[in-house]
């Protein structure tokens, strides 16, 4: 054991670094989640399947090429804790790490190869200041690191600050996000096949509102990738 490993072992006696899912002590090579829990992630692999559950959920809401989710989200499941830590526990690096894992699955696939640009679902500046970062942007950064597809920032913007959607029904969710997104420079997206990235899709209202704004760009094609979809 070298000096730095000794320091790590000593520090964890007082400040234990534990897996956010199962609580097990992490190894020096592990970050936030232990390997055992990573192997147990409820991955969908539905980017390989046309007409998958994510596409079925979004069908008829707006025009899109493809849609996929990295994992399924269920109450008290592994991914609930992961999403909670990314959004509310300041685990920015965890968002990037999950994006990388998703990107590794997508890399070289028919799903990702046509994509020219990755667009994270934006937060309102006030919300982003409160949280300190945009979790969807961190996920997009992770996908970008692996696929080398650039991330667009600041062109699709959220113009209205509104309440959280956690406790809203489907109709209320749509009313909460209708007409709250805007594209600043449409020419930047014209003729591009973009990948719209969000942390989780529940009813699809937020993604639909983003797509409505993006669809005003001439010749745009939209695909969707989310870290999780709700069972």
Same domain, yes or no: 27 and 76: no
- For the segment 211-230, the average pLDDT, to the nearest whole number, is 97
For residue 5, pLDDT over 80 is answered with: no
Same domain, yes or no: 144 and 109: yes
For residue 75, pLDDT over 70 is answered with: yes
Same domain, yes or no: 29 and 93: no
Give the per-residue pLDDT at 23: 86
Same domain, yes or no: 34 and 141: no
Give the per-residue pLDDT at 125: 92
pLDDT digits (tens, 9 = 90+) for 111-139: 999 999 999 999 999 999 999 999 999 99
Same domain, yes or no: 31 and 71: no
User: What does the chain look like in DSSP terms, one character per residue?
Assistant: --HHHHHHHHHHHHS--B-TTT-PBPPTT-BSB-HHHHHT--B--GGGSTT-HHHHHHTTTS--S-EEEEEEE-TTSHHHHHHHHHHHS--HHHHHHHHHHHHHHHTTSTTTTT--EEEEPPPPHHHHHHHSS-HHHHHHHHHHHHH-PPBP-SSEEE-------TT--HHHHHHHHTT-EEES-GGGTTT-EEEEEEEEESSSHHHHHHHHHHTTSTT-EEEEEEEEEE-
Same domain, yes or no: 45 and 131: yes
Same domain, yes or no: 31 and 133: no
CATH number of the domain enclosing 75: 3.40.50.2020
Give the per-residue pLDDT at 170: 58
- For the segment 47-63, the average pLDDT, to the nearest whole number, is 96
In the sheet that holds 193-201, the strands lie side by side as 67-73, 221-230, 193-201, 117-120
Question: Domain residues for 30?
Answer: 1-40
Give the per-residue pLDDT at 2: 55
Same domain, yes or no: 146 and 206: yes
Same domain, yes or no: 27 and 65: no
Give the per-residue pLDDT at 4: 45
As a whole number of angstroms, the distance between CA 61 and CA 85 comes to 29
Judge if pTM exceeds 0.85.
yes
- For the segment 183-198, the average pLDDT, to the nearest whole number, is 98
For residue 62, pLDDT over 90 is answered with: yes
Same domain, yes or no: 54 and 80: yes
Same domain, yes or no: 27 and 90: no
Total domains, the chain: 2
Same domain, yes or no: 60 and 108: yes
């Amino acid at each position: 054991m070298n000096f730095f490993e000794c320091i790590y072992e000593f520090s964890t006696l007082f400040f234990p670094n534990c897996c956010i899912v199962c609580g097990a002590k992490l190894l020096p090579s592990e970050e936030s989640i232990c390997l055992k829990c990573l192997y147990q992630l409820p991955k969908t692999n539905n980017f390989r399947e046309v007409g998958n559950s994510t596409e079925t959920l979004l069908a008829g809401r707006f025009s899109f090429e493809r849609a996929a989710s990295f994992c399924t989200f269920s109450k008290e499941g592994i991914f609930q804790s992961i999403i909670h830590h990314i959004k509310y526990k300041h685990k920015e690096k965890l968002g990037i790490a999950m994006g990388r894992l998703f990107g590794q699955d997508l890399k070289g696939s028919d799903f990702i190869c046509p994509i020219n640009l990755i667009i994270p679902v934006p937060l309102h500046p006030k919300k982003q200041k409160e949280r300190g970062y945009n979790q969807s942007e961190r996920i997009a950064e992770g996908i970008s690191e692996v696929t080398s597809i650039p991330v667009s920032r600041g062109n699709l913007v959220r113009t209205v600050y509104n309440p959280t959607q956690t406790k809203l029904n489907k109709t209320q969710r749509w009313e909460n996000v209708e007409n709250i997104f805007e594209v600043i420079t449409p020419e930047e997206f014209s003729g591009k096949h973009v990948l719209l990235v969000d942390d989780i899709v529940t009813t699809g209202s937020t993604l639909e509102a983003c797509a409505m704004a993006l669809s005003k760009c001439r010749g745009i094609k939209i695909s969707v990738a989310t870290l999780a979809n709700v069972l």
